[in-house]
Structure 1
Amino acid sequence: MEFISNAMILSFSILLLLPKSRGTTSKIPDPFAIEQGNPTKIKNGYEEKWLLNIMVIDTRGAQDKKACTQCRCDHMNLPKDFYNVTRDIHNQKLTTNYKGGLFCCQDNLQCKQIEGFQGPRRMVSLRYKISWVDWNIYQIPIKVYILDSTDKVRSNGSKILHDCLAEYTIPATGGGGDSPHVQKENIPMEKGGYLIYGTAHMHSGVVNATLYGQDGRTLCTSTPKYGTGKEAGNEKAYLIGMSICYPQPGPIKIHDGEILTLESRYKNEFRTGAMGHFYIYLAEELPQ
């Protein structure tokens, strides 16, 4: 699907922003919309295209399904030279201190199987519904920001540099007890706006995620929904959705240069590949 010659806007969803999509609403309230395909914003010689990247973890016959979904390296059939040839997010050689996550769930890697298990070859497909309308004077454009609770923000003079790790490991000796493990970072917003939508992308074991303003006010808290059955999209004990925030347009404004605080909370137990991403849609203006 390509939008090159006509200015279009997505009025329903973005493929990138569908965490646990069956149970997470991605509808954008009217008249706000995300502009796509504006020819005046496409660099000369380039075409604007869509990319859909699907990650599927097959847990059939896995020795430990929970460890398999966390991409635990010691539960994967890794090649012998894995740590010698694999590069991390900073293009550095991956060390044996890396216990699990995206790099141990690369294409064609498989979880360790129960001895004797043989599963038939299986084809997996996902269906997404995308709706759009022609741009008109009544639509109000919004900008999408993805915040990461692992963002080690630093500066180079007046320029803010973001250093997101994308994932993290919760150690086995994280304190235990009923208190959750908290991953927290302060993230400056160069450009602000009115908050239109917010939600978090987390994994199973999540307690919640909260985004705070610089003055300590709560901008949005996203809480999990876990499955209770066996059917697709309602798998028992698996995370199937995150709640969203639809504040009334106007009351919540993030100011230019404001420093936001993102906290992602998980159960305090050993876990690899944990993520704490928060998606917010901001509008620079409101309906007249």
Structure 2
Amino acid sequence: MVLLLSIIMLLTSTTYSNYLEPDNHIKSATFVSENFEIGPGKIAVKTFLDIEFPKGHIGVKSFDVELVDEDGNSVPLYETYFHHWFAIKYFENISMSTYIEQYHDLRNGIIFQRNQGTCQGYILPHYWGLGSESRGTSSNLPDPFVVELGNPTQIPQGFKEKWLFNIMAIDTRGALHRKGCTECRCNLLNLPKNFYNVTTGIDGKPLSRNYKGGLFCCQDNLQCKLRKDFDAPKRKLSLRYKIRWVDWDEHQVPLKFYILDATDRVRLNGSTSIHDCR
């Protein structure tokens, strides 16, 4: 369970709209991410680098996301369970941009910019991002609060500020056990025979055979068990996201994101707090 503290929040690919809202000179743009193909019972875990994002030194007022089909229609949760979407900021080495784009290599030439939360490692690094409950949930920040982005004094020389999406979607059409499929129960998925030998947990150690379900069993392109003789076509889905922002000025009050994990086992090493988010 993840708690997002909204009281101290901090803080692509077709543009559908880009206009100036009458209120407080708020600008708005709607984008569509790269698409991905998914079929009945399939798991899709994708990372989309360098998503479209407003340029310049700005203050973001809201960031809202929807899962849509090729015709731009919202996809219902009972057909495709939108497990999560995370928007993550990173700095990209300009001299390595071509290499990163070609090889999709996140280990070289990229500096990830985590939120201000206490979780360490790769756990919960995002800024905006929620699960299926994000639908219909407003992310609007009241004046004068914003999320400051694109500040040139905070971007390392030779780097660009960029954003990526990390998403997981589970097509539950025809699933033998729809709820179990959305919960990533390992016995409902076509795991490879050597799954427990080659899969490591958060601690970097081989996954225990007592691990019965969770993110590690929901890997890209794995398949949930389907009802006998069920058939439905594959389809291509995308993220449609709307961002509202203002140009930066001295009247804006910048906020920060703090994301906490209810499973965090905090312990002390002298005066240093160690957070073991799970």
TM-score range, shorter chain: 0.5 to 0.7
Aligned residues: 164
**Residue identity (%):** 57
Unaligned runs of 5+ in 1: 166-288
Per mean C-alpha deviation after superposition, the further-off stretch among 16-25 and 68-77 is 16-25
Superposition RMSD in Å: 1.7
Q: Do structure 1's residue 104 and structure 2's residue 217 form an aligned pair?
A: yes
Contact 2:63-2:241 at 8 Å conserved across structures = no
Distance in structure 1 (CA, Å) of the matches to 2:158 and 2:263: 35
How many Å apart are 1:76 and its aligned residue? 0.9
Q: Which has the higher contact order (CA 8 A, sep 6+)?
A: 2
Cα gap change, 1:154 to 1:43, in 2 (>3 Å): farther
Distance in structure 1 (CA, Å) of the matches to 2:246 and 2:194: 50
Q: What pairs with 1:179-218 in structure 2 (closer than 5 Å)? A: none
1:24 equivalent in structure 2: 137
Distance in structure 2 (CA, Å) of the matches to 1:75 and 1:62: 9
- Of 165, 174, 193, 1:61 maps to 174
How many Å apart are 1:45 and its aligned residue? 3.0
Contact 1:34-1:143 at 8 Å conserved across structures = yes
Cα gap change, 1:35 to 1:46, in 2 (>3 Å): same
Contact 1:35-1:141 at 8 Å conserved across structures = yes
Distance in structure 1 (CA, Å) of the matches to 2:275 and 2:158: 29
How many Å apart are 1:101 and its aligned residue? 0.9
Q: Tell me the TM-score normalised to structure 2 length.
A: 0.56
Deviations 1:165-187 (A, max 9, x none): 1xxxxxxxxxxxxxxxxxxxxxx
1:213 equivalent in structure 2: none
Q: What pairs with 1:2-13 in structure 2 (closer than 5 Å)? A: 6-13=56-63
Per mean C-alpha deviation after superposition, the further-off stretch among 148-157 and 103-112 is 148-157
Look up the SS of the partner of 1:40 in the other structure.
helix
Distance in structure 2 (CA, Å) of the matches to 1:150 and 1:113: 33
Cα gap change, 1:113 to 1:57, in 2 (>3 Å): same
Deviations 1:216-275 (A, max 9, x none): xxxxxxxxxxxxxxxxxxxxxxxxxxxxxxxxxxxxxxxxxxxxxxxxxxxxxxxxxxxx
How many Å apart are 1:67 and its aligned residue? 0.3
1:122 equivalent in structure 2: 235
Distance in structure 1 (CA, Å) of the matches to 2:235 and 2:63: 28
State the 4+ residue runs in structure 1 displaced beyond 6 angstroms: none
1:76 equivalent in structure 2: 189
Q: What residue identity is the alignment partner of 2:167? A: I
Distance in structure 2 (CA, Å) of the matches to 1:142 and 1:25: 17
Contact 1:33-1:141 at 8 Å conserved across structures = yes
Contact 1:13-1:28 at 8 Å conserved across structures = no
